[in-house]
Amino acid sequence: MPFGIVLTSDCDGILPFDHDSSLRRSVASRGRRGIDQYGVTVSRMGAKPLGEQREPWLTRTLVVLTLVSFFQDAASDLVYPLLPVFLTGVLAAPPVLVGVIEGLADATAGVTKFFAGKWSDRRGRKPFIAAGYGLAAVGKVLVAAAVAWPMVLIGRVTDRFGKGMRSAPRDALIVASTPPEALGRAFGFHRAGDSFGAVVGPLVGLLALAVVHGNVRAAMWWAIVPAAISTSLVALVRERRPATAQTTNRVAVSSESGRSDGALPRPFWLATTAVVVIALVNFSDALLLLRVVQLGYSTTQVVLAYVVFNSVYTLASYPAGALADRLPRPTVYAIGLVAFAAGYLGLGLLDRGIGVFVVIGVYGLFPAFTDGVGKAWVSSLVPRHRAGRAQGIFQALNNGAVLVAGLWAGLLWSAGPGHGVVPLVVAGGAALVAAVLLPLLGL
C-alpha cells in the first residue's frame, strides 16, 4: 500500500493511509504539503522536511476579505466620529446615551458573534459574511434617517448585529486559509486594511461636511456608497466547505485534553478570561471622541483626531502581527495595553493643545497590538474546525465586557472634574497594571 504521513496539529501521532482514502483526498488538493481546516498536516514520502516548506499566507481569500472590510470600515468610520455630535447636538440626547447606545450595540454584536461563529463551523462561513455586511449597510441608512435617538439605537443595533453575523465566520475563514505560523501576519494585514478604511472614511466625511456646508445628517448619507461596494465584493469570496463529520472524528483529537476536541481547550479559556477582564475598562471610542468634543474642538478637528488614531492603527497593525509570530503573543498584547494606558491617562489629564492629538495617536497603537494579535492568539489555541466557535466566544465575551465598560464610564462621565476625567484615569491606571501582569501569567 502506498504510504504517506499524517501529523495532527495537536499530537505526534503518525498514521499510514492509502492514496485513495477520503482523508488524503480532502487535503492533497492543498499541495505537496497542506494544512486542512482541521489542523492536519500532510507530507508525501520523499518530499522536503516539513520545517523547510512554507505555505503562502497572503491568499486570495485574505485579500478579498481585506477589501470587503476596507470599504465597510470606510462607511462605518465616516459615520462613527460624527455620531457623538449627531446625538448630543442635532438630536439633543444626553451624553450618557452615547455610551449606552454604543454599549448595547456592541453587546448585540457580541451575542450574535457567539451563535454565528458556532453555526458557521457547521454551515459554512460565506452566508453569514454576506448577511452581516448587508445588515451593516441597512443600519447606516437607519442612523442617517434618524429623527430621534431611539432610531439611532435601532440603526446601531442593526449595524452591530450585522457585524456579529460576519466577524467570527470571517475570521475563521482567514484562519482556515492561513498557515498556523503566519496567523499574526495574516490578521495584521487584515486589520491594516480594515483600519485604512477607518482613515479614508473620516476624510471622506470631512469632504462631505464641506460639500453640504456642515450638515451632519447629510454627510452621513455618503456612507451608503462604500457600504454597498463592500456588500457586493462578498460575492468574490471563495470557501471550501467543511469536510464530513466522519473525517472530523478521525482527525480531531486534542492531546491537551486527552479527548475529542468538541470542548475547547483550557489554554483558550485562560487566554480569553484574561483578555475579557481587561476589556472591562475598554469603553467605546465614541466616548473618547466625546471627550475631545467637550474639550472645545470643532467637528472637523474631532474627525481629524480620529484620522490620526486610525492612521497609527493602520501603520502599526502588520508590524505588530509579524512581531506576534516571533514573540509570545501575551507580551505583544501587553505592549498594546501600555499604549492604552498612555492614551486614556493622557486624554483624561490634558486640557487642550497638540498633546491631545499626540496621545490619541499613541492610543492607536492599542488596537494595532491587541485586535489582530488577540485573534491570532486564541486561534492558535484551538483546532481549526472549531475556529468559528472559538472566535465567536472570544469576541462575544469581549463585546459583553465593553458593554459593562460603556455603562460604568457613561455613569461616571460627569463625576469629579467632569467631561470623562474620572473614567479615563481609572481605566488607564487599570490597563497599566494589566500590562505588567499579563506577560507574567504564563498564558
Indicate if 20 and 90 belong to the same structural domain: no
Indicate if 135 and 37 belong to the same structural domain: no
Q: Specify if 248 maps to a domain.
A: no
pLDDT digits (tens, 9 = 90+) for 309-326: 989 999 999 999 999 999
* C-alpha R_g of the chain: 22
Q: Specify if 250 maps to a domain.
A: no
Indicate if 17 and 33 belong to the same structural domain: yes
Q: Specify if 254 maps to a domain.
A: no
Worst-scoring range by mean pLDDT, 90-104, 151-165, 248-262, 372-386? 248-262
- Domain count of the chain? 2
Indicate if 122 and 9 belong to the same structural domain: no
Instruction: Report the mean per-residue pLDDT for the chain.
Output: 81
Indicate if 64 and 42 belong to the same structural domain: no
pLDDT digits (tens, 9 = 90+) for 413-426: 888 888 889 999 99
pLDDT digits (tens, 9 = 90+) for 173-188: 998 888 888 889 999 9
Q: Specify if 245 maps to a domain.
A: no
pLDDT of residue 262: 63
Q: Tell me what percent of the residues of the chain surpass a pLDDT of 70.
A: 83
- Are 39 and 10 in contact, with CB atoms under 8 Å apart? yes
Indicate if 158 and 210 belong to the same structural domain: yes
Which region, left, alpha or beta, applies to residue 442 given φ > 0 means left and ψ of -120 to 50 means alpha?
Answer: left
Residues 6+ apart with CB under 8 A from 257: 263, 265, 266
pLDDT of residue 114: 84
Q: How confident is the model at residue 239 (pLDDT cuts 50, 70, 90)?
A: confident
Indicate if 143 and 217 belong to the same structural domain: yes
Indicate if 165 and 202 belong to the same structural domain: yes
Q: Specify if 257 maps to a domain.
A: no
Q: Specify if 116 maps to a domain.
A: yes
Nearest to 76 by CA among 284, 230, 297: 230
Boundaries of domain holding 25? 4-52
Indicate if 163 and 125 belong to the same structural domain: yes
| Alpha carbon distance 416, 413 (integer Å) | 9
What CATH code is carried by the domain that includes residue 379? 1.20.1250.20
pLDDT digits (tens, 9 = 90+) for 50-60: 444 567 888 88
| Alpha carbon distance 425, 409 (integer Å) | 11
Q: 339: part of which helix (H) or strand (E)?
A: helix 329-349
Query: pTM of the full predicted structure?
Result: 0.74
Indicate if 16 and 157 belong to the same structural domain: no
Q: Specify if 193 maps to a domain.
A: yes
